[in-house]
Amino acid sequence: MAYADLKRLILKSDIKLFEHFIISKSIDIEEMVPKSLHDPEIDKIRKSDDDYTFVDLSAYYDVLPMFQYFISKIQFKIILESNHKFPLIFYALKGNNNEIINYVFEKRNLDENLFNIYDALYFSLKLGNINYLNKFFELSKGQRPDTDPET
Q: How far apart are CA 46 and CA 64, in angstroms?
A: 22
Q: How far apart are CA 14 and CA 149, in angstroms?
A: 49
- Mean pLDDT over the full length of the chain: 87
What is the band of 70 on the pLDDT scale with cuts at 50, 70, 90?
A: very high
**Count of Cβ atoms closer than 10 Å to residue 11 Cβ:** 13
Write the CB contacts of 38 (distance below 8 Å, at least 6 apart in sequence).
3, 49, 52
Q: What is the dihedral of CA 139, 142, 148, 151, to 10 degrees?
A: 0
pLDDT at site 148: 59
Share of the chain above pLDDT 70, in %: 90
Whose CA is closest to 141, among 118, 109, 124, 122?
118
pLDDT of residue 118: 86
Phi-psi sector, 148: left (phi>0), alpha (psi -120 to 50), beta:
beta
Report pTM. 0.85
53 neighbors 82 (Cβ within 8 angstroms): yes
Q: In terms of pLDDT, which residue wins out, 141 or 28?
A: 28
pLDDT at 108: 73
What lies within 8 Å, CB to CB, of 115 at 6+ separation is: 88, 89, 104, 105, 107, 108
* DSSP designation for 146: T
